[in-house]
Amino acid sequence: ADTADDSAREEEEEEEEEEEEDPVFGTMNHRPEKRPPRSSCALWQALLISQSKGGRDHRIPPSPVVHVRGLCDAVVEADLVEALDKFGNICYVMMMPFKRQALVEFDSVESAERCVSSGNREVVRVADQQAFFNFSTSQRITRPTNADDPAGGNKVLLLSIQNPLYPITTDVLYTVCNPVSNVLRIVIFKRNGIQAMSVEDAQKAKLALNGADIYAGCCTLKIEYARPTRLNVVRNDSSSWDYTKPFLLILSLSITALCRTQCSLLHQIQGL
């Protein structure tokens, strides 16, 4: 009797083992067939990749404009120019810092093709980080309507502050820009303008600072050449400053003091 009971228990255990649930394939007795050899998988994956790349190449024809992806957070325009000018002359760069991307316009399709093909064959690093390259759907980067021809340059730069979580004053902009090039005047309004000593100084500032964060993760600089060639400053304060005319600060303080006196007199006269 004991032998019969043992045999029955063994049969029940075998049935339970056969019906044991597998977290991926369900019951063990429904496990799929053995996977194909590794070589077959590799060939299949290579075929898929080849088809994918081929389709992408047919969809996007060669263009002088290259779309760059995978950039690091701290990359600026100068890093892109330094890494990619070996493929040809660069006409224009548009930074997209929040996406960690950029558009780079070469002076010819051939230069752009050298850039894209080189990026597909080998690792191309921008600011010590591998970047990835494709042709853009655009044949030319659209310039801002208020910017002059970038090849000609301008000593006045238009700074757009993106994601401005902290206040931006003339002191902040001077601290950021003056170490790169000599700043003459700053005017802050809905669009920020900074005038450098020369066109060359403005070009240096644009290269070094375009795409950089004033504060970590915010207040990102997007820099273009402005249309006016000179900024007019009437007083030195947190919104405007002429570093060639320090006496404007004294003048503005005198005007402010006079206004306060007049307001106080008006207050006394009207009894308000």
Tell me which of 90, 107, 135 is where a domain ends. 135
CA distance 154 to 149: 9
**Mean pLDDT by 10-residue block, N- to C-terminus, for the chain (272 residues)?**
54 50 43 47 47 52 95 90 94 89 95 95 94 94 62 78 87 91 87 73 89 88 84 87 79 45 38 40
The domain tally of the chain equals: 2
Burial (0-12, 13-18, 19+ Cβ within 10 Å), 190: exposed
Domain assignment present for residue 10? The answer is no
User: Which residues, including other chains, have CB under 8 Å from residue 234's CB and lie 6 or more apart?
Assistant: 240, 248
Residues 91 and 124 in one domain: yes
Element spanning 6, H or E:
helix 2-18
* Residue pair 100/70 in contact by the 8 Å Cβ criterion: yes
Q: Report the pLDDT value the prediction gives residue 38, as an integer from 0 to 100.
A: 47
Last residue of a domain, one of 116, 135, 154: 135
pTM: predicted TM-score of the whole model, two decimal places: 0.58
The CATH number for 189's domain is 3.30.70.330
CA torsion, points 107, 112, 115, 116, in degrees to nearest 10? 170
Q: What is the span of the domain harbouring residue 83?
A: 65-135
Q: What are phi and psi of 223, to 5 degrees?
A: -115, 130
Residue 196 domain-assigned (yes or no): yes
Find, among 92, 93, 87, 84, the residue nearest to 114 by Cα: 87
Residues 228, 205, single domain; the answer is yes
